[in-house]
Amino acid sequence: MTYLNESILTVILLAPLAGAALIAILPDRGKLPAWIGLLTTLVTLGLTLHLPAHFVLSQHGFQFETSRLWIENPAIYYHVGVDGLSLWLVVLAGLLAPIGIVASWNAIHQRRKIFYALFLVQQTAMLGVFLSLDLMLYYGFWELSLVPMAILIAMYGRKDGSKAALKFFLFTFIPSAPLLVAILWLYANTGTFNFADLQILIASGGLPAGPLCWVAIAFLFAFAVKVPVFPLHGWLADTFSEAPVALAMVVAGKLGLYSMLRFHVGLFPVQARALAPWLVALAVIGLLYGACLALVQRDFWRLLAFAALSHLSLITLGIYGLTFTGWDGAIYQILNHGVVDGSLFLLLGILEARYGTSQIACYGGLAAKVPQTATLFVITSLAMIGLPMLNGFVGEFLILSSTFTGVNRGWAVAATVGVILGAAYMLWLVQRLFYGPQSPLAADKPASDLRLGELLILWPLVALMLGMGVAPSIWLPTIENRTGPPTLKGSITLPQPSLSLAASGEGQQ
């Protein structure tokens, strides 16, 4: 088992690549690439489950760590490892991949070989981003995750793929250039790409403060675009409405948010603290802005994009509140967002595949025709709008309550308004798709409810939403065992009941 513990991360990284190679070698016949893809991703998922099973809760720091010198000069190491921050994100990446394959099963009709091979490369890149502890290795995976995405958006775009791909390219590749420069600057000044060493060196204050500030901003900028943080979300709606479902469900959020936690706040706690008030403000604005725009969308992919902007902004708020509980909530909410959005993407993808449109107005009254789809959609929507006992509520409550008690009451109250708007746009969407009299489109098509494969993936997701809502204690202890930045170690203390309430500014007799 020790041997497996040492090499498990490498195996996880190589498994999708091996699948991609197999697809590349074998002929593009029928659904063969899809089957290989499904098997590969299921195996990868199984491998990622090894991590929580053998994660030692009592041991602080990185686990399953492997470090080998890769290139001597510059000193780039193949250095991977997992802590409470990345543990469940790796599992989430593993979980979303088979969902993506199922979502593509009937949606991708041509050039399956390229699609599934690139999809698996993208999978390795994502896992690599979560696992890398060497900045250069991390950058390689980060860049690698963008390439298949851009190609696939261009190749399989629904209407105007090239335009969306160009937009995606502009938004994500351009900020990577300053990121690379910043990483190289760090190396030039410290002689290492090692995350843990850099963390200590930066904290010790040996680096010039002025350039370091710009380096931190370069990191933040690349991540903020990828999340996206308002107002850098310009690529999101186009990508959501053009990209194949399998890619759209992984493109936003996770990578950028994880990188913020690990490599922005994690490496540059002082610089992050200085910018935090601005990011809190942008997060709350983005949260409300996304929700308002989601209210008026006519296309359900665009609606989902602005809803995602709103939810990702909430997570950003949790991160830059810089509280321990807020981080718990943020990480938990990344997982929730993956599960809930994965399920929504799958369901909407199924609707689009069967009815041929993403225009909401064409739908109506589907609940009588496809009751299973409607039921699952409603449960997922409820998880999304934070109904207690489903997963969304836990993350939302942790983030909002920690913002309120530990950061700023005004922004917390403003962010809580999102609770109302979220219910409004999601329930309105549910009504327009599933309730009311049947639309001509719905009435004309024969009823075709969910297939077995779709049910097999959706019911476990719903069970996960319920499980994560009722028993977050399964996940939170591992999440809390993370290597936070020095300033965030330990837990914040909630104010004791006292008769002096200076913080609130409210009168007290």
Partner 1 sequence: MNDSLHLWLIPLFPFAGFLLNGVLGSRLPKWLVTTIALLTPLWSFAIVLSAARGLLGFGATLPSLPFVETCPVGWIDAGALHIGFSFVLDQLSLVMLLVVTGVGLLIHIYSVGYMAHEDGYWRFFSYMNLFMFFMTVLVLAGNALVMFIGWEGVGLASYLLIGFYFQKNSAADAGKKAFIVNRIGDFGFLIGIFLLLANFGTLTFSEIAAKLAAAPAWQGGVLTVIALCLLVGATGKSAQLPLYVWLPDAMEGPTPVSALIHAATMVTAGVYMIARTHAIFDRSPFALGIVAIVGAATALFAATIGLVQNDIKRVLAYSTISQLGYMFLACGVAAYSAAIFHLMTHAFFKALLFLAAGSVIHALGGEQDLRKMGGLRKKIPVTFWTMTAAVFAIAGFFPFAGFFSKDAILYAAFLQGPGGKIFWFAGVVTALLTSFYMFRLWYLTFLGESRSHDVHPHESPWSMLAPLSILALLSIGGGWIGMGRFGTFLAPVVGTSASESGSTQLEILLSIVAVAVALLGWLIADRLYRQRPESAGNLAAAMPAGYKLLINKYFVDEIYGYTVVKPLLAISQYVLEWVVDVAILGGATWLLAGTAQFAGAILQRWQSGNLRSYAAWLTLGAAVVLLFFLLPATLGMHVSGMGR
Q: Tell me if 444 contacts partner 1 by CB under 8 A.
A: no
Tell me which of 35, 55, 78, 428 binds partner 1, using CB under 8 A: 428
Minimum distance, C-beta of residue 343 to partner 1, in the bound complex (Å): 18
**Which range touches partner 1 (CB under 8 A), out of 32-40, 52-60, 194-202, 397-405?**
397-405
Tell me which of 4, 57, 361, 417 binds partner 1, using CB under 8 A: 417
Interactions with partner 1, residue window 270-329 (CB under 8 A): 289, 292-293, 295-296, 323-325, 328-329
Q: Are 291 and 181 in contact (CB under 8 A)?
A: no
Q: How far apart are CA 117 and CA 106, in angstroms?
A: 17
- 3-state secondary structure (DSSP) of residue 134: strand
Q: Tell me if 360 contacts partner 1 by CB under 8 A.
A: no
Q: How far apart are CA 90 and CA 110, in angstroms?
A: 30
**Which range touches partner 1 (CB under 8 A), out of 49-57, 337-345, 363-371, 444-452?**
363-371
Q: Tokens at residue 209, please?
A: 């403060």
Q: Which is nearer to partner 1, 205 or 208 (CB)?
A: 208
**Which range touches partner 1 (CB under 8 A), out of 12-20, 41-49, 244-252, 470-478?**
470-478
Q: Are 136 and 76 in contact (CB under 8 A)?
A: yes
Minimum distance, C-beta of residue 338 to partner 1, in the bound complex (Å): 19
Q: How far apart are CA 88 and CA 479, in angstroms?
A: 8
Interactions with partner 1, residue window 202-241 (CB under 8 A): 208, 211, 215, 231, 233-234
Q: How far apart are the first and last CA of the chain?
A: 64
**Which range touches partner 1 (CB under 8 A), out of 48-56, 265-273, 429-437, 447-455?**
429-437
Give the position of tokens 């300053």.
Answer: 178
Tell me which of 24, 144, 217, 281 binds partner 1, using CB under 8 A: 144
Tell me which of 150, 249, 272, 282 binds partner 1, using CB under 8 A: 150
Q: Are 324 and 491 in contact (CB under 8 A)?
A: yes
Measured in residues, the chain has a length of 509
Tell me which of 365, 392, 484, 485 binds partner 1, using CB under 8 A: 365
Residues contacting partner 1: total by CB under 8 A: 100
Q: Tell me if 480 contacts partner 1 by CB under 8 A.
A: yes
Interactions with partner 1, residue window 332-351 (CB under 8 A): none
Tell me which of 7, 59, 357, 491 binds partner 1, using CB under 8 A: 491
Q: Which is nearer to partner 1, 11 or 455 (CB)?
A: 455
Give strand ranges (E) for 63-121.
Answer: 63-71, 76-82
Interactions with partner 1, residue window 87-116 (CB under 8 A): none
Minimum distance, C-beta of residue 426 to partner 1, in the bound complex (Å): 10
Q: How far apart are CA 273 and CA 486, in angstroms?
A: 12
Q: Which is nearer to partner 1, 7 or 110 (CB)?
A: 110
Q: Are 65 and 307 in contact (CB under 8 A)?
A: no
Residue type, 426: M
Q: Which is nearer to partner 1, 64 or 171 (CB)?
A: 171
Q: How far apart are CA 477 and CA 220, in angstroms?
A: 28
Tell me which of 166, 203, 213, 455 binds partner 1, using CB under 8 A: 166
Q: Are 485 and 265 in contact (CB under 8 A)?
A: yes
Minimum distance, C-beta of residue 326 to partner 1, in the bound complex (Å): 9
Tell me which of 178, 436, 460, 467 binds partner 1, using CB under 8 A: 436
Minimum distance, C-beta of residue 8 to partner 1, in the bound complex (Å): 26
Q: List C-alpha distances in Å: 126 to 54, 92, 231.
A: 22, 11, 24
Q: Tell me if 508 contacts partner 1 by CB under 8 A.
A: yes
Interactions with partner 1, residue window 373-392 (CB under 8 A): 382, 387-389
Q: Are 176 and 143 in contact (CB under 8 A)?
A: yes
Q: Are 352 and 366 in contact (CB under 8 A)?
A: no
**Which range touches partner 1 (CB under 8 A), out of 270-278, 314-322, 350-358, 361-369?**
361-369
**Which range touches partner 1 (CB under 8 A), out of 3-11, 12-20, 45-53, 364-372?**
364-372
Minimum distance, C-beta of residue 76 to partner 1, in the bound complex (Å): 8
- 3-state secondary structure (DSSP) of residue 410: helix
Residues in a beta bridge with 403? none
Q: Tokens at residue 389, please?
A: 């006992």
Residues in a beta bridge with 78? 68
210 φ, ψ (degrees, to nearest 5)? -60, -60
Residues in a beta bridge with 80? 66, 132
Give the position of tokens 């850098």.
Answer: 232
Q: Tell me if 43 contacts partner 1 by CB under 8 A.
A: no
